[in-house]
């Protein structure tokens, strides 16, 4: 069980209460936790915070569109073996050419680890299904060496998704699900305070309210997220902008809005 | 066991399996519901749901089911007693679902700390005690916007699009990739001297032209069509995907966006399309094939050349001759015998092979597109 105070003392992470409950449910039931939410709501940060508060090592498996499930377990470097054989190296031990992926490492670890499978929706449609057996059985088989590796400790698995693709039902059924909502104003102020040691209250007040106004502009292609607000606040404080003009002049708007269309839309609305 | 709640949730359309329910029971055995309704709510949500689009439905079902007990704004701490109390009255409760829901919403509104109750909503970590916090407000329907209510999800469509795959070695590319098998083979033949082999990568060669009927009677199927469109655009394995729109039937022009406006930058002529694309392109029509017979057989007045053009049926035949791999997907199922008020469906089906816009129809249609065999 993680307590709120534990999760929040780690780094500068602010966790909503429902998120914390879900984390504890996943820990107790020993099931992977699937976290969805808008970009910038702290999905990846959650894994860091959980690992730190539990005092466990964090392994991060970043998923790309080319990632295969097999890569997470192990890869067999046949080319290296071939080259070694050319120069009379010892190539009898196939084991030295088997390189373990992040999932494989998590299974083989002596201590329980936290495994973050980041942005699982980036991968191929079949990817999640290919992981099912290993995740269920907590073991995998290396064909080349005919060895089976069984997890000594079931890793704590946290999976994030940006919902670019829908995930297969069979996979979802095995996960504990949580959707991180975009923080409300009260939570946002806490998040900002966690990132800044000292910040002018008036500036924060103005910036946050402008930020939510911009977010509510209809027709925005990409809404600015928490991390962009933090960057914006940094720019505003560094420049010593007068809080009174923020609402009117929207200084450094480019930090919040990255798309031309959005930029013009908000500028025009003012 | 409170199976009543399980069946109630299923009746409300939540796809919950027995396995999910066992996990929920396991969680309760381990005390994860913290013996409060709030804890129970979060446990259910985390274990039973798997998409934020289900949150709203679940919130409603939850507050309808527990609504009567929550009336008056007090949340009983003893959940077990609560569940037992509520179970026998299920049929009655379910019947009064609507009444129960509004009761529950009223009750929720009265709870201090719920959004909209006027009191400052406590943020995370504000140390709210007891069973009431700002986040526990299933009746307030804050997840309403996430609902999808879709019957066929895009994933299934995307899987169907996978059929459209024809891997072949790319001759026109200079790209090379390492061929392990042939390298090992070659090296062995040379007695251990390295013989590195490369090959051209194999890639999908299928190019697709998607032609969609827009407006009119197709409005009823707009969601289905937009899902098909999403699935098509998300299918990155296609070599090329072009999408054009038409209204009811194709004449001499196709439109690049669904507004069907005749603007220079919005139009492409059918002739132009046939010049640009060779016969290897796969053409998929999406439309209900319903129109006035005149629209199909009558001649079009060609606004560009200022003279009468070909009738729709002729344009279709022309296209079919140019693109032999062509299908028509129809959102109105074909087995609805006799449903062909104007006879246009039959005419079109006699020119282009017609399939249902369902998963099954899609797969059969795509297989035909790929192989030319039914």
Nearest chain B Cα distance for residue A224, angstroms: 19
Would you give per-residue pLDDT tens digits along chain A (270 residues)? 666 666 655 556 777 778 888 888 999 998 999 999 887 788 888 898 888 888 899 999 999 878 888 889 998 888 788 778 777 777 778 888 899 999 999 999 999 999 999 999 888 777 888 888 888 888 889 888 888 999 888 999 999 998 777 788 888 888 999 988 888 888 888 888 888 888 888 888 888 988 998 888 877 777 888 888 989 998 888 888 888 888 888 888 888 888 787 888 888 776
Instruction: Return the structure tokens found at B225.
Output: 């069509």
Task: Indicate the fold that domain B205-371 takes in CATH.
Answer: Rossmann fold (3.40.50)
Give the helix ranges, DSSP H, for chain A.
4-9, 17-29, 43-54, 69-73, 78-86, 102-108, 127-137, 169-172, 185-195, 201-215, 226-239, 243-249, 253-256, 260-269
Nearest chain A Cα distance for residue B260, angstroms: 22
**For chain B, domain boundaries:** 3-146, 170-202, 205-371
Chain B's closest residue to A3, CA to CA, is B125
Paired strand residues for A158? A33, A116
* Cβ-Cβ contacts under 8 Å for B249 (sequence gap 6 or more): B287, B291, B295, B296, B312, B313, B315, B316, B348
Instruction: Return the structure tokens found at A207.
Output: 């910036």
Q: Does B42 touch chain A (CB under 8 A)?
A: yes
Contacts of A128 in chain B (CB under 8 A): none
pLDDT at B55 over 90: no
Instruction: Return the structure tokens found at B178.
Output: 């390492």
85-114 of A, contacting B, C-beta below 8 A: 85-86
Q: Does A170 touch chain B (CB under 8 A)?
A: no
The phi and psi torsions of B110 (rounded to 5 degrees) equal: -80, -15
Yes or no: say if A140 and A148 are a contact pair by the CB < 8 Å rule. yes
pTM of model > 0.80? no
**For chain A, domain boundaries:** 4-67+106-180, 185-265
Cβ atoms within 10 Å of B336's Cβ, excluding its own: 9
Buried b (16+ CB within 10 A) or exposed e, B342-373: eebbebbbeebbbbbbbeebbbbbbbbbeeee
Interface test with B, best of A8, A17, A27 (most B CBs within 10 A): A17
Contacts of B27 in chain A (CB under 8 A): 25, 28-29
- Tens-digit pLDDT profile for residues B119-137: 333 333 333 333 333 345 6
Indicate the SS3 state at residue B311. strand
Report CB contact under 8 Å: B183, A82: yes
Beta-carbon-side half-sphere exposure of residue B371 (alpha carbons within 13 Å):
8
220-279 of B, contacting A, C-beta below 8 A: 234, 236
Contacts of B155 in chain A (CB under 8 A): 125, 165-168
- Residue in B120, B135, B192 closest to A16 by CB: B135
Q: Does B14 touch chain A (CB under 8 A)?
A: no
- Tens-digit pLDDT profile for residues B215-267: 777 777 777 787 788 788 777 778 888 888 888 888 888 888 877 777 777 88
- Tens-digit pLDDT profile for residues B8-49: 888 888 888 888 888 888 888 888 877 777 888 888 989 998
The CATH classification of domain A4-67+106-180, taken from the options 3.40.960.10, 3.30.360.10, 2.60.130.10, 3.40.50.300 = 3.40.50.300
Chain A's closest residue to B128, CA to CA, is A17
Interface test with A, best of B26, B45, B46 (most A CBs within 10 A): B46
R_g of chain B, CA atoms, integer Å = 29
Contacts of A20 in chain B (CB under 8 A): 124
Contacts of A181 in chain B (CB under 8 A): 142
The phi and psi torsions of B254 (rounded to 5 degrees) equal: -120, 155
Residue in the structure block whose two tokens are 């199976």: B3
- Residue in A15, A31, A78 closest to B124 by CB: A15
Residue in the structure block whose two tokens are 């103005």: A206
Predicted complex ipTM? 0.75
Contacts of A36 in chain B (CB under 8 A): 52
Report CB contact under 8 Å: A165, B51: no
């Amino acid at each position: 069980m993680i307590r709120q105070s534990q999760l929040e003392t780690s780094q500068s992470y602010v966790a909503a209460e429902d998120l914390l409950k879900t984390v504890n449910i996943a820990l107790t039931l020993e099931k992977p936790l699937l976290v969805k939410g808008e970009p910038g709501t702290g999905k990846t940060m959650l894994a860091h915070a959980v690992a730190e508060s539990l005092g466990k090592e964090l392994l991060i498996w970043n998923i790309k569109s080319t990632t295969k499930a097999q890569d997470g377990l192990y890869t067999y470097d046949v080319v290296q073996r071939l080259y070694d054989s050319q120069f009379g190296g010892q190539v009898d031990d196939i084991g030295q050419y088997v390189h373990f992926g992040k999932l494989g490492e998590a299974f083989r670890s002596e201590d329980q680890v936290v495994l973050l499978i980041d942005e699982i929706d980036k991968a191929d449609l079949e990817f999640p299904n290919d992981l099912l057996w290993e995740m269920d059985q907590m073991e995998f088989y290396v064909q080349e060496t005919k060895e089976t590796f069984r997890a000594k400790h079931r890793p704590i698995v946290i999976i994030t998704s940006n919902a670019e693709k829908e995930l297969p039902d069979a996979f979802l059924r095995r996960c504990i699900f949580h959707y991180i909502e975009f923080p409300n104003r009260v939570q946002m102020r806490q998040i900002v305070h966690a990132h800044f040691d000292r910040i002018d209250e008036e500036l924060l007040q103005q910036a946050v309210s402008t930020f939510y106004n911009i977010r509510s502009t209809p027709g925005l292609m990409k809404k600015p997220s928490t991390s962009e607000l933090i960057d914006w606040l940094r720019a505003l404080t560094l420049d010593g902008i007068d809080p009174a003009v923020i609402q009117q002049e929207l200084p450094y708007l480019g930090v919040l809005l990255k798309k031309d269309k959005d930029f013009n839309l908000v500028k025009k609305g003012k | 066991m409170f199976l009543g709640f399980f069946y109630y949730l299923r009746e409300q359309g939540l796809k919950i399996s027995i396995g999910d329910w066992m996990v929920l029971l396991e969680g309760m055995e381990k005390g994860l519901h913290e013996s409060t309704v709030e804890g129970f709510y979060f446990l259910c949500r985390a274990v039973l749901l798997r998409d934020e689009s289900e949150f709203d439905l679940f919130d409603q079902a939850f507050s309808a089911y527990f609504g009567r007990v929550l009336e008056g704004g007090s949340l009983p701490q003893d959940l077990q007693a609560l569940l037992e109390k509520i179970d026998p009255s299920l049929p009655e409760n379910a019947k009064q679902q609507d009444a129960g829901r509004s009761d529950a919403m009223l009750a929720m509104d009265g709870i201090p700390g719920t959004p909209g109750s006027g009191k400052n909503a406590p943020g995370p970590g504000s140390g709210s005690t007891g069973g009431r916090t700002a986040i526990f407000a299933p009746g307030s329907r804050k997840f309403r916007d996430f609902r999808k209510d879709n019957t066929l999800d895009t994933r299934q469509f995307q899987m169907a699009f996978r059929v459209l795959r024809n891997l072949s070695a790319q001759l026109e590319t200079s790209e090379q990739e390492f061929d392990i098998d042939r390298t090992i083979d070659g090296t062995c033949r040379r007695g251990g001297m390295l013989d590195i082999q490369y090959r051209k990568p194999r890639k999908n060669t299928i190019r697709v032209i998607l032609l969609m009927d827009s407006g009119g009677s197709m409005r009823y199927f707009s969601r289905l069509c937009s899902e098909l469109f999403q699935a098509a655009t998300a299918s990155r394995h296609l070599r090329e995907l072009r999408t054009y729109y038409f209204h009811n039937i194709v004449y001499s022009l196709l439109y690049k966006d669904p507004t069907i406006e005749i603007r220079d930058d919005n139009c492409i002529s059918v002739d132009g399309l046939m010049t640009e694309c060779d016969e290897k392109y796969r053409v998929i029509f999406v439309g209900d094939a319903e129109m006035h017979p005149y629209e199909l057989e009558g001649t079009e007045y060609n606004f560009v050349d200022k003279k009468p053009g070909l009738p729709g049926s002729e344009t279709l035949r022309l296209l079919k001759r140019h693109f032999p791999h062509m299908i028509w997907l129809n959102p109105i199922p074909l087995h609805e015998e006799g449903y062909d008020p104007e006879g246009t469906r039959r005419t079109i089906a006699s020119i282009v092979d017609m399939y249902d816009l369902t998963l099954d129809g899609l797969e059969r249609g795509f297989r035909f597109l790929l192989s030319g065999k039914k």
